[in-house]
Structure 1
């Protein structure tokens, strides 16, 4: 006969606790989460940078600046990279807050990041610029959103302490 081990005891013992919460989520190692959040910020910024370079090198599309402006002098490209890093840090704060306050925090986090990523993908098409620029920026936003979502979710799951 197979025995099933329930975290925190049997389901009936958990229900008898009277607090209505059958299972407490494991605690979170905040230092580990935030160090991963900083690493994710670096990855997100670099993903944006590589996307800008790819747009220029592969497709000949200067995303936000004239062709004669060098990559490092392009303030809009720098803003895109800094924005990606800030978004990663905001996502780290969000998952930390959700971990402390909601049941199934990673499920809510996945939905929130997914919807923000979808909005970021559609925003370049509303800016009124050229279609080529909008497509490149949308792909960059998608890659950055996927990187943030997967890396922060993995970091939070790894930082969980039973």
Structure 2
């Protein structure tokens, strides 16, 4: 196939500042973990709602508070990785990212309702998962847009006279 001329795609390939993207993803992970901790403290301390652990564990609960915060941080890093892959490989990556995040958030919101926890705990945890999904989705999407490197359009080929 060395003799065949393959036309080049006239559209420039996307370029991503990976360092900026992952730094923003790490910052989002920290924010998500803090939202989880604040949400648990608010639910247990102010509203006396069981969130992840029985009320008997106190406002800070048990190790599940740490695991919930860690899970929120990991979710933010997974979202960053997903967006990185989408930015490099798919047309309209932000649209696909939005759909994935929205559907993952819905799953997170529905998950508490398959447990035998109290109704208040189910609704509160669902609401906390909603806040986490919105925060992670909006922060990672914003970071992704700012991490895109503008690519100058290729100059038109000049005819050889």
Q: TM-score, normalised by structure 2?
A: 0.83
1:75-128 CA distances to partner (integer Å, 9 max, x unpaired)? 222211111000000000000011111011111111001100011001101112
Give ranges in structure 2 of 5+ residues lacking alignment: 1-5, 151-161
Q: Which runs of 4+ in 1 moved over 4 A?
A: none
| Distance (Å, rounded) in 2 between the aligned partners of 1:132 and 1:25 | 49
Confirm or deny that 1:87 pairs with 2:106. Answer: no
**Aligned counterpart for 2:32 among listed residues 30, 33, 44:** 44
1:56, distance to aligned residue in structure 2 (A): 1.2
Which secondary structure does the structure 1 equivalent of 2:55 belong to? coil
| Distance (Å, rounded) in 2 between the aligned partners of 1:68 and 1:128 | 17
Alignment root-mean-square deviation, CA: 1.7
1:18, distance to aligned residue in structure 2 (A): 4.0
* Partner residue, 1:4: none
Contact 1:44–1:144 under 8 Å retained in 2: yes
1:67, distance to aligned residue in structure 2 (A): 2.6
**Aligned counterpart for 1:104 among listed residues 86, 92, 97:** 92
* Partner residue, 1:29: 17
Give the total of aligned pairs: 145
Q: Residues 54 and 25 of structure 1: is their aligned pair in 2 closer, same or farther, counting only changes over 3 Å? A: farther
Q: TM-score, normalised by structure 1?
A: 0.83
Contact 1:71–1:77 under 8 Å retained in 2: no
Structure number with greater Rg is: 2
Give ranges in structure 1 of 5+ residues lacking alignment: 1-16
Which secondary structure does the structure 1 equivalent of 2:117 belong to? coil
**Aligned counterpart for 1:155 among listed residues 143, 155, 160:** 143
Which secondary structure does the structure 2 equivalent of 1:68 belong to? helix
Confirm or deny that 1:122 pairs with 2:110. Answer: yes
Q: Residues 123 and 129 of structure 1: is their aligned pair in 2 closer, same or farther, counting only changes over 3 Å? A: same
